[in-house]
Amino acid sequence: MVKLGEIQELYVVDVSSKGACLNDNMNGNNNIVLPSNEINQDIKIGSKIEVFVYRNADDKIVATTKKPKLTVGEIGYLKVAQIAKFGAFLEWDMDKDLFLPFKEQKDKIVEGREYLVGVYVDKSNRLCATMRVYDLLSTELPYKVNDVVKGFVYSLNREMGAFVAIDNRYHAMIPKNEIFHNVKIGDTVTGRITKIRPDGKAYISLRDKTYKQMDKDTDTLMNKLIKNGGKLPLNDKSSPDKIKAQLNMSKGSFKKAVGRLLKKRIIKITDNGIELIV
């Protein structure tokens, strides 16, 4: 089945002066036309070609070898090209701008500014944008625990953490207790999947596996001690916020790093904190 709003490989079932007729199989009906100005000499009947299927400026469903900034189910930032009575039109690298209906807007729209949106097919079988991106993200995650993934932060919640769209398409969250540096909406992050919930939504960590992270935390603590003249006013009684402010790590990670350095007799504990042993 040919899918509107998606990049897909289709068969060439016929070629004429108007263009190439494409479909998902050689015997299908309702062929999609790839305009003649996008046909190269290598195209022949029976071959497959990767195209994007959309409605052009004449409102006809056609194929193109051009790639839009976003496809159905993806989210990202698009610039407002024009504001109209019933919505706004967004630039997405196609000959026809993407329509953002008024009812799908969450904030006041300003021409020339970029907004976070997703792409969906409306009830009239037309491609549209929405600012309600959470509902567009998929839970059919093609990854497993410990896989390294990339995504961008699209929302922040002080009580829960940062919401991330993996590959611009899948649900994920960085829990609050995994955030040890300033994370902003729009940031691109690389993390490791630590858990996948029964509903398919993932938790990710920006930190490495425990044994690798412990090495990094130990190095961080050592470097901080050296820069601080061999002393740090931190110990078991220090608050998690104080430790995070100075070292960008949790209190638990701090205690593990201290324990490793104590075992190696590199530091000692004093009344004021910890100290390098000279």
Q: What is the CATH number of the domain that holds 271?
A: 1.10.10.10
Residues 50 and 105 occupy one common structural domain: no
Give the predicted TM-score (pTM) of the model. Answer: 0.67
Domain co-membership, 35 together with 88: no
Q: What is the pLDDT of residues 138-164, one digit of tens each?
A: 999 999 998 989 998 999 998 899 999
Query: Could you list the residue range(s) of the whole structural domain that residue 197 is in?
Result: 148-205
Of the candidates 205, 231, 247, which is a domain's last residue?
Answer: 205
The answer to the question of residue 159 being in a domain is yes
The mean of the pLDDT values for the chain is 88
> Which of the listed residues 205, 227, 243 is the one where a domain comes to its end?
205
Is 129 part of a structural domain of the chain? yes
For residue 256, being part of any structural domain is answered with: yes
Residue that is written with structure tokens 């904190």 in the block: 273
| Pick from 89-103, 187-201, 222-236: least confident | 222-236
Percent share of the chain, pLDDT over 90: 51
Query: Domain with 179 in it: what CATH number?
Result: 2.40.50.140
Q: Is residue 98 part of a domain?
A: yes
Do the domain assignments include residue 112?
yes
Is 254 part of a structural domain of the chain?
yes
Shared-domain flag, residues 215 and 196: no
pLDDT of residue 212: 53
- For residue 219, the model assigns a pLDDT of 79
pLDDT-derived band at 268 (thresholds 50, 70, 90) equals confident
Among candidate residues 107, 135, 163, the one where a domain is terminated: 135
Whole-angstrom distance, CA of residue 180 vs CA of residue 58: 51
Model confidence at 210: pLDDT above 80: no
Please indicate, yes or no, whether residues 111 and 168 belong to a single structural domain of this protein.
no
8 Å CB contact between 74 and 125: no
Domain tally, the chain: 4
Residue 102: which region, alpha, beta or left (left: phi > 0; alpha: psi -120 to 50)? Answer: alpha
Average pLDDT over residues 37-45: 83
In this prediction, residues 233-258 reach a mean pLDDT of 82
Judge whether 53 lies within some domain. Answer: yes
Q: Are residues 185 and 218 in the same domain?
A: no
Q: What is the pLDDT of residue 42?
A: 76
Mean local confidence (pLDDT), 206-230: 72
Region for 92 from its dihedrals, namely left if φ exceeds 0, alpha if ψ lies in -120 to 50, beta otherwise? alpha
Residues 110 and 160 in one domain: no
Share of the chain above pLDDT 70, in %: 96
Q: Is the residue at 87 inside a domain? A: yes
CB 233 within 8 A of CB 272: yes
d(CA 226, CA 242): 19
* pLDDT value, residue 223: 85
**What's the rounded mean pLDDT across residues 172-188?**
84
Q: Dump pLDDT digits (tens) for 52-90.
A: 999 998 899 999 999 999 999 999 999 999 999 899 999
Close Cβ partners of 36 (under 8 Å, ≥ 6 residues apart): 17, 18, 19, 20
Q: What is the DSSP string of 202-253?
A: EEEESS--HHHHHHHHHHHHHHHHHHTTTEES--TTS-HHHHHHHHSS-HHH
Report the range of poorest mean pLDDT among 20-24, 98-102, 119-123, 177-181: 177-181
pLDDT over threshold 90, residue 235? no
Q: Are residues 187 and 200 in the same domain?
A: yes
